[in-house]
């Protein structure tokens, strides 16, 4: 019997560790992707539709804006505002994306963790 036929505990642990890393990576990627979708034009978290812009404007760091205007850097105000508004909505969108993805992972087919297998269609048919 060859040494290579013996299942190695270290290899098994390593594989388990790597597959968890892989799942973490896939979770991060899925959250990034979902965040972008939520923030896309027409999305619920689109930073620059009028309602969302109004909400974010009321939350901006007005001291930073005032400082720029005081210093005569009026031309920089727009870029700083856009950055702050985008940051405000990105934080909210990321929270929502995390909630959605973790929910999807928790409800994913336990056999393939949502990668897709015949049991997904049978037992965990998606609505979309």
Decide whether 83 or 115 has the Cβ nearer to Zn ion. 115
DSSP state of 112: T
Give dist(CA 91, CA 20) in Å, integer: 26
Work out how close the CB of 32 gets to Zn ion at its nearest, in angstroms, rounded to a whole number: 23
Decide whether 16 or 116 has the Cβ nearer to Zn ion. 116
Decide whether 16 or 111 has the Cβ nearer to Zn ion. 111
Decide whether 47 or 114 has the Cβ nearer to Zn ion. 114
DSSP state of 5: G
Query: Residue 51: how many CB atoms within 10 A of its CB?
Result: 8
Q: Mapping DSSP to helix (H, G, I), strand (E, B) and coil, where does residue 8 land?
A: coil
Give dist(CA 71, CA 77) in Å, integer: 11
Work out how close the CB of 19 gets to Zn ion at its nearest, in angstroms, rounded to a whole number: 15
Instruction: List the x/- string, 50-89, binding to Zn ion by CB under 5 A.
Output: ----------------------------------------
Work out how close the CB of 104 gets to Zn ion at its nearest, in angstroms, rounded to a whole number: 13
Residues 84-123 that bind Zn ion (CB under 5 A): 109, 111-112, 117, 119-120
DSSP state of 49: S
Contacts with Zn ion by CB under 5 A lie at 109, 111-112, 117, 119-120
């Amino acid at each position: 019997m060859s040494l290579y036929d013996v299942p190695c505990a270290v290899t098994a642990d390593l594989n388990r560790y790597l597959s968890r890393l892989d799942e973490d990576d896939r979770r991060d990627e899925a959250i990034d992707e979902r965040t972008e979708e939520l923030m896309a034009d027409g999305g619920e978290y689109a930073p620059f539709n009028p309602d969302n812009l109004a909400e974010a404007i009321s939350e901006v760091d007005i001291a930073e804006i005032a400082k720029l205007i005081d210093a005569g850097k009026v031309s920089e105000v727009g870029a700083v505002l856009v950055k702050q508004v985008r940051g405000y909505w990105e934080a909210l969108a990321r929270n929502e994306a995390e909630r959605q993805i973790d929910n999807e992972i928790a409800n994913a087919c336990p056999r393939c963790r949502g990668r897709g297998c015949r049991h997904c269609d049978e037992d965990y048919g998606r609505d979309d």
